[in-house]
Structure 1
Amino acid sequence: MLLQLVVARVRHAGFRFGIAIGALALGSVLSSSADAGDSPSWLSTASTSSNSAAVRAIKPRAELLDAKAQSDGVDTEHIFGFSMGSDIGKKGEIELEIENVGRFSKRFGSYTGVGVLSQVKFVLTDSFRVAPGVSFSSTHVSGVPDMIDNRRTALAGASLEFRYRLLDRDVMPFGLTLHAAPGWNRVDELTGFDIQTYGSEFAALMDKELIHNALFATVNVWFSGGASRALSNQWSRDSELAVNGALSYKVGPDLILGVEARYVRAYEGLGLDRFVGDAVYLGPTFAMHLSHNFGVSGTWSTQVAGRASCETLHLDLQDFERHQAMLRFNYLF
């Protein structure tokens, strides 16, 4: 009787011990599965050697993708001076831009003209942007032949810019954006006198990344034309064609330096009818980020070649200025 009692207790204890071992094993499996789903890095210490090798193979790939994502942060629109890149921003972005353009020095006398264009850019899609703007002008003319002395600062006019990105340089051989900007002016930015001008400008903006995240190039073709009515009610029509090229190099995380060349031809008539003069400008460019949403860019260009149709002198200082400069501020909301 005593022997049967001992055997029964031993069997009961063994059954309870087996249940405990099974529960511990099941809990360990469930815990490992949960940890594997929550954090893949946990597998490197809790999995087999083959799984660890797979994780090590995935990690460099993830690091490369992360590095590429960080390097794609260069917006080429304003890194080339007067020339433009093909970037227009991302869908939903709103940006304030203030562009200050200065024109200095004629052949004789004193001449300074400053134009300020303020725009608010709305990126409606990843490929389309619209930007209404207003412009101001300040002109100081003294002793310049064929120009009346004048000193004036005034609200100049308004414009509406459209840009459509046709080719994305990340997936195509180069980037291409089409630009159109109809406008109206009530002040002649050249002379500072009252005038009514209706016109528009069109451009093809092309760029390419020559060295990944380091060296960028752009080529622009610009055409502008307009009709103006002076106070005497006489109408005049003119047009202009420009071809720009620029290179910019990223020298630091927040600084890009470059060089820009521009060739500009002026005509009488809306359709490039009669040649008036041409000019070649050359100068350095810069672009830098002062914070994650505030940037500044600019250039100083000097006329190095040109000719006016009515003169035999070197350089065209009748239709263009000796120096042109630009300083631009951009704030991304």
Structure 2
Amino acid sequence: MKPGDDRVDTEHIFGFSMGSDIGKQGEIELEIENIGRFGKRFGSYTGIGVLSQVKFVLTDNFRVAPGVSFASTQTNGVPGMIDNRRTALAGASMEFRYKVLDRDVMPFGLTLHAAPAWNRVDELTGLDIQTYGSELAALMDKELIRDTLFATVNLWFSAGASRELSNEWCRDSELAVNAALSYKVGPDLIVGVEARYLRAYDGLGLDRFVGDAVYLGPTFSTHLAHNVGLSGTFSTQVAGKAAHDHQHLDLDDFERHQAMLRFNYLF
């Protein structure tokens, strides 16, 4: 739901997944997205990433959103990771979204997303790093029951090159397929369920498979006030495997739990 609008805006009703709506021309919106990652196979791990964006809807089909990110990491006794406890300014990004199909007049909605970014701190480890990368996505949604039941499918691709303290460059990429259903249970509340499949690779072009994970969890979206929205999800890894490990779940490349809480303020 878009704060201040009775019409259901699908962008943030699906958890990590996104709907195709981008807002109306002239709108300016502040968004603060908090993502938490919790749990490895051994030791203690908590990673929190905060992305603050200001969204400018330039036309009904095009939006830009500059942002800055912060990272807070606590690791202790996790194999392959340095024990660390740190909170820092992590980096900056610029998001672009272009609505290709409007679901009000087409069979489904489709928006293309691109977000180049630079980071000076690794949000996963909390260590100093120089990272240049981008994510690309196709966001599709459909209104199954008018003003009541909504569905989305997302295709995400991200890739980046990082230079660690050793001055050695490493390159990686990730592919994700998301699907979610959301149901409007009241004037200001939408609840749903989301499933995500993630695959991690070495190399910028999905070169060498590293591991995969399946996450499942509930979602919600609500209005706190006329122009204030809150949405979120908590998902758990229910399946997965690292390429080099026979154990159930991939807790080397991914976490046991991932959560998101998002705050939106429409000016």
**Alignment TM-score > 0.5, same fold:** yes
- 1:332 aligns with 266
Q: Write 1 or 2 for the structure with the bigger share of strand.
A: 2
Match of 1:131, as an amino acid?
A: A
Per the TM alignment, residue 231 of structure 1 is displaced from its structure 2 partner at its CA by 1.2
Q: What do residues 3-32 of structure 1 show as CA deviations (whole Å, max 9, x unaligned)?
A: xxxxxxxxxxxxxxxxxxxxxxxxxxxxxx
| Paired positions, count | 264
Per the TM alignment, residue 242 of structure 1 is displaced from its structure 2 partner at its CA by 0.0
- 1:152 aligns with 86
Secondary structure of 1:124's partner? strand
- 1:246 aligns with 180
Per the TM alignment, residue 291 of structure 1 is displaced from its structure 2 partner at its CA by 1.2
Gaps of 5+ in 2: none
Per the TM alignment, residue 184 of structure 1 is displaced from its structure 2 partner at its CA by 0.1
Q: What do residues 219-264 of structure 1 show as CA deviations (whole Å, max 9, x unaligned)?
A: 0000000000011110000000000000000000000000000000
Higher relative contact order (CA 8 A, sep 6+): 2
Within 5 Å, give how 1:281-300 maps onto structure 2: 281-300=215-234
Runs of 4+ that moved beyond 6 A = none
Per the TM alignment, residue 72 of structure 1 is displaced from its structure 2 partner at its CA by 6.4
- 2:138 aligns with 204
- The 1-side partners of 2:60 and 2:88 are apart by 36
Secondary structure of 2:11's partner? helix
Q: What do residues 123-165 of structure 1 show as CA deviations (whole Å, max 9, x unaligned)?
A: 0000000000000000000010111100000000000000000
Per the TM alignment, residue 278 of structure 1 is displaced from its structure 2 partner at its CA by 0.1
- The 2-side partners of 1:111 and 1:290 are apart by 31
User: TM-score, normalising length from structure 1?
Assistant: 0.79
- The 2-side partners of 1:195 and 1:123 are apart by 32
Match of 1:197, as an amino acid?
A: T
- 1:255 aligns with 189
Over aligned residues, Cα RMSD in angstroms?
Answer: 1.0
Gaps of 5+ in 1: 1-70
- The 1-side partners of 2:81 and 2:137 are apart by 31
- 2:238 aligns with 304
User: TM-score, normalising length from structure 2?
Assistant: 0.98
- The 2-side partners of 1:223 and 1:109 are apart by 30
- 1:279 aligns with 213
Answer yes or no: is 1:169 the counterpart of 2:103.
Answer: yes
- 1:124 aligns with 58
Answer yes or no: is 1:270 the counterpart of 2:204.
Answer: yes
Secondary structure of 1:276's partner? strand
- The 2-side partners of 1:312 and 1:190 are apart by 23
Q: Write 1 or 2 for the structure with the bigger share of helix.
A: 1
- The 1-side partners of 2:218 and 2:187 are apart by 19
